[in-house]
Amino acid sequence: MTDNLKNSRVVYALGETVLDLVSNGDFSLQAVPGGSVLNASVSLGRMGTAIYLISEFGDDKAGDLIENFLKYNTVKTDYCIRNIQRKTSLALAFLDKAKNASYSFYHDTPEKLQITSIPVFSKEDILLFGSFYAVKPERREFILSVLRCAVEAKSIIYYDLNIRKAHSAELDECMTTYMNNISVSTIVKGSDEDFRNIFGIKDPENVYEKIRHYCNMLIITAGGKPLHVFTPGFVKTYKIPAIRPVSTIGAGDNFNAGFIYGISTTDISSKQIENLTEAQMDRIIGCGLAFATEACLSPENYVKGNFEPDFWMKYI
Decide if 111 is inside a domain: yes
Question: Is 3 part of a structural domain of the chain?
Answer: no
In a domain, 4, yes or no: no
Domain that residue 242 falls in? 10-315
CA distances from 282 to 223, 310, 313, 315 (A): 19, 12, 8, 9
> What's the pTM?
0.94
Does the residue 5 lie in any domain? no
pLDDT digits (tens, 9 = 90+) for 150-179: 999 999 999 999 987 666 778 888 999 999
At 83, the amino acid letter reads N
Q: For residue 217, which phi and psi values (nearest 5 degrees)? A: -120, 125
- pLDDT tens digit string along 22-62? 888 777 788 889 999 999 999 999 999 999 999 999 999 99
For residue 224, how far is the Cα from the chain centroid?
Answer: 18
Overall domain count for the chain: 1
Whether 261 is covered by a domain: the verdict is yes
Domain presence at residue 2? no
In a domain, 51, yes or no: yes
pLDDT score of 25: 74
Q: Evaluate whether residue 1 is within a structural domain.
A: no
CATH code for position 70: 3.40.1190.20
